[in-house]
Structure 1
Amino acid sequence: MLHIERYKAWLNEKTLDKEMKLKLTQLTESEIEECFYKELEFGTGGLRGLMGPGTNRINLYTIRKVTQGLANYLLYHNKGEKGVAISYDNRHNSQAYALEAAKVLAQNNIKSYIFKRLRPTPMLSYAVRHFNAEAGIMITASHNPKEYNGYKVYNHTGAQLNEKEAEEVIDFINKIENIFDIKTKENDLIHWIDESFDSIYLNEVSKNQINDGYKTAKIVYSPLHGTGGEVIPKFLKEQGFDVYVYESQMTIDPNFSQTESSNPEEAKAYEKVIEYATTIHADIILLTDPDADRLGIAVWHDNTYHLINGHQTASMMLHYILEQGRLKGTPLQKGCVFSTIVTTDLLKDIAESYDQTFITTLTGFKYIGEQIELTKNTYTYTFGCEESYGSLVSSFVRDKDAVQAVYLLSEMACFFKEKQMTLFDYLNQIYDQYGYYHEYTENISLKGLEGVKKIAKIMNHYRENGLNLKKYPIYQLNDYQTQIYEIKPVVKLPKSNVLKYFFKDFWIVLRPSGTEPKLKIYYSMKANSSSHAKKEIENINQEILKQIENI
């Protein structure tokens, strides 16, 4: 058995550290198979997985391997001289992995710029651009459970690697025969980024201000134990906002011990913060995920807090940017809005009503980052977003940026409070103008090797047999794997294992998650009322879940 051979090779490796060897001896038979049945895949979105011993786990050795592959890629293209920027989040081993990556690069005579302390993903993206680096590395697993970590790679534009670049890096990684042959070195090629860089980045963020009005809204912020706490509260206070932090979640805690979830998409992430916000009568709650690239919000309205989802938040932000630009007599000329195939069509309606070009990409902000670069000489950047609570207000960063989002939404909360409105009122105004949209995402967790097989079986079933619903005939289908489109994308998209079904007033998307062992089903419906859309989607979702049970 291949996994047994790999396990024995690691166990007998003379250079393996004592701690790792001890962990190997403690594995059960099933754990040995899970840890060694394959190589942990560096995909087009980077690396993400459980930490632990073995080829299918994230550890110092697999970090060395992917970094050596990246180094070989850079050296092959004569791109080593400008260096690599590196940051990391609050997770177990994140700082150690970041330093290990820098030491592998140093061994290859490639300099690195590494943050002295944990810093958000968008700051890493900006650091690549600021230092004119050729690449960036972010050690993070975003909102995944505490047992996970990850490794994202950025190109010289500050965006995540595009498909072609990622595939080439993957080839270089796969050519490495012995993971234990990779050497490291600690020398003067490792440059440390100190706190002075914060003000350089935050100065750019502050340029996003649209209205400098009264800052009367009471804001509660939590970083959910992550990187946002390092920069966001201080910045908001310096900008004059009335901001309060939920102290229990301000600690840098890799175990996320004071929150029920580190994912701002989940309602349980807000529970403790809402309790605190209620006691001080806060107008808005802002939560950033551990690497501070995604933002979740809750708004006080009619004596309770309402959670606003990613579709709604992005729609409000876009409408505010465009509406205020027109009111101030400075509309964005030749503007372009970027979104994804699983994000609400309300954004398209808003963009086109303000004469903006609207470009839709595959799921994942790396595709938006790529399109920003490809279209920078054709369009003026207006806004970019995706449904999973990620957005980008200004393109000096090329990945989603919750710091920018926090700043804009804080301004918006104050702006509308002066008009005796909440952001919930503003959202309903937008619905009144453009029609009501309701979105829902079903996540089906399918873990391990069996889960991978089950997800593939489900996708193959629907690709071969179609999606048949009792009450609703399909109008059109886009298969992004075979690239058979009945509704043609504005820009050419790479192949992806995604199916999108279009019906009269709604669409459904099926895709495997790129970062978690899940099958994701997305729904978006335009309807006359919230209750009607919600009920219809619930019924359709139950019908599809029953189908999946029988596949």
Structure 2
Amino acid sequence: MSYLKKYQFWLNQKDLDPTLLNELISLNEEQIEEVFGTDLSFGTGGLRGLLGVGSNRVNIYTIRKATLGFARYIKKNHIPGNVAIAYDNRHFSKEFAKEAAMVLAAQGIGSYVYQDLRPTPMLSYAVRYFKCAGGIMITASHNPKSYNGYKAYDQTGAQLNPKDADRVIDEINQVDNPFEIETIENDLIQYIDLSMDDVYLNEVKTIQLNKVDKPVKIVYSPLHGTGKDIIPKLLKDEGYLVYPYTPQMIADPNFSNTDSSNPEEKEAYIGSISYAKEINAPVVMVTDPDADRLGIAVYHDGEYHLLSGNQTATIELYYILTQLKAQNKLPKNGFVYTTNVTTDMIKTIATDFNIEVQTTLTGFKFIGELAELNQDKGPYIFGCEESYGSLIKDFVRDKDAVQAVYMLAEIVNYVDAKGQTLIDYLDEIYQTYGYYYEYTASFMFQGLSGIEKMNQMMDHYRKNPPQIESKKLLAYDDIISSIRFENGVETKLDYPKSNVLKYYYEDNTWIVFRPSGTEPKLKVYLGTKDQSMEKAKTFVHQTSDQLKKQIDAL
């Protein structure tokens, strides 16, 4: 069906939501093509997009359609159990969660729905705790307020892998009329009350490695999102000196008191750092709206320094392994998981402790899938990705900022007892293993034409590997073809197929090109190792500037 026919089809619906109808009537032809020219699709984070009218927007009809496809997938594959559902603070999140539950009920599938907004890791935990057939999280993670989304989970508590996601998409595509999807509210819909908070938090407390004195003031912000009740409760119950940043403790879909909902951006810390200065707090912790990612600012040498996701993960892993070894609890057959855009420091540290490292693609669903495959081979020790996400214990199978906050609170106080900050601790790690530095450049490509431009960029670099002055190209991975090219020889890659390119150069230097699965952008990741952080940073940013010029010229 053409986009104009889709538009007319929606316009002819007698019971169309009045707000969406008004928006539909106001569209010009270019906007009509934008919102009906394609349908929302699953990426690394599930279904995510702008709120609004149309098949390429998030609204009650696209939510119902996605849920019906998910329900049919569950029934066709005879997966037993109900479906757990949670939601964040965004516009219509609670309503979308209810719609999903009612679609499932109409298909004879029960659901466990959180009564109030809760973090993504608690959704994953509920799937495992209740032995569900799957899970649904209504969230757009760290995206701006105009977005919402839908993450689908399998029965292990991990996000759907590409093969299963494709099966769900096939079912979704067979739904011809989203306006004829049946919804029912009945006793198949059950609600999860507040008692689940303590059940989950008691599990989180088991990650503790040392009982420490707790003199360090920690400012915390949930950025108006789902961490607002859970994380302060956890830290206070455990005796940590947590100071919630009150203006951002309100569940607010407009993110009124922050300039950014993304802990990867410095604007997200403006208010909380200002508060930290007032009370002389040396540490600021910020979680994204669905509380699966953690960002940290540390006071050191007269100013607050923002740690990258790579640096935070490095600190976590090094602390965990050193403490387990000191306590004679380090397993000989354990696993550490990372991704092909995450710092090489993770593999370097784990290897130094004789721990096996498995590398996969971006998206914690791949780490969750590996953890499930390896559960009988050896214990899970740690998993992380560069985008501020980590998982310490896998009673959850997704990124868990609640665990991360709890562990970092312990580490902060542990190093403080030695007269150190996290920056000092990180520098010790660099001095031991070398100075690793990573940077991500993003290029936005809005609209349908943006997808074509990103594909053209990828085709160009697939045929023309980027040249780096003074660095010889050693090998490269074309992951969509599942092939590594090295010294004129092709070898098979054991990765899920994805439109990703990685180039390996001398001196632990690498570049990755990856179209985002959840946002209209091309991400270019760079990493290197050098004799000092200053040299590593200078090299990476010079290389990034050269690549930006190339991409702008294409």
Taking structure 2 as the reference length, what is the TM-score of the superposition? Answer: 0.97
Residue 426 and residue 489 in structure 1: after superposition, are their counterparts in 2 closer, same or farther (change >3 A)? farther
User: Is the 2:479–2:493 contact (alpha carbons within 8 Å) kept by the matching residues of 1?
Assistant: no
Match of 1:298 in 2: 297
1:112-127 equivalences under 5 Å are 112-127=111-126
Q: Distance in 1 between matches of 2:385 and 2:43?
A: 20
Please say if 1:541 is aligned against 2:549.
no
1:154 deviates by 0.4
Residue 160 and residue 476 in structure 1: after superposition, are their counterparts in 2 closer, same or farther (change >3 A)? same
Q: Distance in 2 between matches of 1:44 and 1:323?
A: 32
Task: Select the residue among 513, 520, 529 that pairs with 1:517.
Answer: 520
Match of 1:263 in 2: 262
Match of 2:156 in 1: 157
**Cα shift readout 1:70-106 (whole Å, capped 9, x = no counterpart):** 1111111222x51100000000000000000000000
CA-atom RMSD in angstroms: 1.4
Residue 413 and residue 87 in structure 1: after superposition, are their counterparts in 2 closer, same or farther (change >3 A)? same
User: Is the 1:97–1:139 contact (alpha carbons within 8 Å) kept by the matching residues of 2?
Assistant: yes
1:41 deviates by 1.6
**Cα shift readout 1:363-398 (whole Å, capped 9, x = no counterpart):** 111000000000011121110000000000101000
1:446 deviates by 1.1
Match of 2:411 in 1: 412
Match of 1:389 in 2: 388
Question: Where do 5+ consecutive residues of structure 2 fail to align?
Answer: none
1:151 deviates by 0.3
User: Is the 2:474–2:506 contact (alpha carbons within 8 Å) kept by the matching residues of 1?
Assistant: yes
AA paired with 1:41? S
Q: Distance in 2 between matches of 1:424 and 1:409?
A: 13
**Cα shift readout 1:504-536 (whole Å, capped 9, x = no counterpart):** 121010110111111000011100111111111
Match of 2:495 in 1: 493
Match of 2:41 in 1: 41
Aligned-residue sequence identity (percent) comes to: 53
Q: Distance in 2 between matches of 1:546 and 1:328?
A: 51
AA paired with 1:52? G
1:267-278 equivalences under 5 Å are 267-278=266-277
1:240 deviates by 0.5
1:125-164 equivalences under 5 Å are 125-164=124-163
Residue 502 and residue 147 in structure 1: after superposition, are their counterparts in 2 closer, same or farther (change >3 A)? same
Q: Distance in 2 between matches of 1:436 and 1:97?
A: 46
1:333 deviates by 2.4
Please say if 1:61 is aligned against 2:61.
yes
Match of 1:282 in 2: 281
User: Is the 1:284–1:297 contact (alpha carbons within 8 Å) kept by the matching residues of 2?
Assistant: yes
Q: Distance in 2 between matches of 1:92 and 1:66?
A: 18
1:162 deviates by 1.3
1:481 deviates by 1.0
User: Is the 1:87–1:119 contact (alpha carbons within 8 Å) kept by the matching residues of 2?
Assistant: yes
Residue 45 and residue 249 in structure 1: after superposition, are their counterparts in 2 closer, same or farther (change >3 A)? closer
**Cα shift readout 1:325-377 (whole Å, capped 9, x = no counterpart):** 11122222211100000000111110011110000001111000000000011
Match of 1:192 in 2: 191
User: Is the 1:43–1:170 contact (alpha carbons within 8 Å) kept by the matching residues of 2?
Assistant: no
Q: Distance in 2 between matches of 1:379 and 1:520?
A: 34
Match of 1:330 in 2: 329
Q: Distance in 1 between matches of 2:132 and 2:413?
A: 38
1:470 deviates by 4.1
1:489 deviates by 9.7
**Matched residue of 2:42: which SS?**
coil
1:112 deviates by 0.3
User: Is the 1:44–1:161 contact (alpha carbons within 8 Å) kept by the matching residues of 2?
Assistant: no
1:212-361 equivalences under 5 Å are 212-361=211-360
Q: Distance in 2 between matches of 1:92 and 1:160?
A: 23
User: Is the 1:341–1:361 contact (alpha carbons within 8 Å) kept by the matching residues of 2?
Assistant: yes
Q: Distance in 2 between matches of 1:484 and 1:240?
A: 51
Q: Distance in 2 between matches of 1:422 and 1:202?
A: 27
1:491 deviates by 7.8
Please say if 1:4 is aligned against 2:7.
no
**Matched residue of 2:66: which SS?**
helix
Match of 2:399 in 1: 400
Residue 44 and residue 264 in structure 1: after superposition, are their counterparts in 2 closer, same or farther (change >3 A)? closer
Match of 2:504 in 1: 502
1:43 deviates by 3.8
**Matched residue of 1:215: which SS?**
coil
User: Is the 1:48–1:150 contact (alpha carbons within 8 Å) kept by the matching residues of 2?
Assistant: yes
**Cα shift readout 1:416-438 (whole Å, capped 9, x = no counterpart):** 11111111110000000000011
Q: Distance in 2 between matches of 1:176 and 1:84?
A: 20
Match of 2:463 in 1: 464
Q: Distance in 2 between matches of 1:466 and 1:333?
A: 39
Match of 2:165 in 1: 166
Please say if 1:72 is aligned against 2:72.
yes
Q: Distance in 2 between matches of 1:305 and 1:322?
A: 27
Which deviates more from structure 2 when the two are superposed, residues 109-118 or residues 330-339? 330-339
Match of 1:106 in 2: 105
Q: Distance in 2 between matches of 1:167 and 1:489?
A: 26
Q: Distance in 1 between matches of 2:252 and 2:259?
A: 13
Q: Distance in 2 between matches of 1:70 and 1:105?
A: 9
**Matched residue of 1:152: which SS?**
strand
User: Is the 1:42–1:66 contact (alpha carbons within 8 Å) kept by the matching residues of 2?
Assistant: no
Q: Distance in 2 between matches of 1:215 and 1:358?
A: 33
Which deviates more from structure 2 when the two are superposed, residues 14-23 or residues 278-287? 14-23
Match of 2:450 in 1: 451
1:40 deviates by 1.6
Taking structure 1 as the reference length, what is the TM-score of the superposition? Answer: 0.98
Question: Where do 5+ consecutive residues of structure 1 fail to align?
Answer: none
**Cα shift readout 1:398-417 (whole Å, capped 9, x = no counterpart):** 00000000000000001111
User: Is the 1:342–1:509 contact (alpha carbons within 8 Å) kept by the matching residues of 2?
Assistant: yes
Please say if 1:18 is aligned against 2:18.
yes
Count of matched residue pairs: 550
Q: Distance in 2 between matches of 1:489 and 1:207?
A: 42
**Cα shift readout 1:36-71 (whole Å, capped 9, x = no counterpart):** 111122346420000100111110000000100011
**Matched residue of 2:377: which SS?**
coil
User: Is the 1:360–1:489 contact (alpha carbons within 8 Å) kept by the matching residues of 2?
Assistant: no
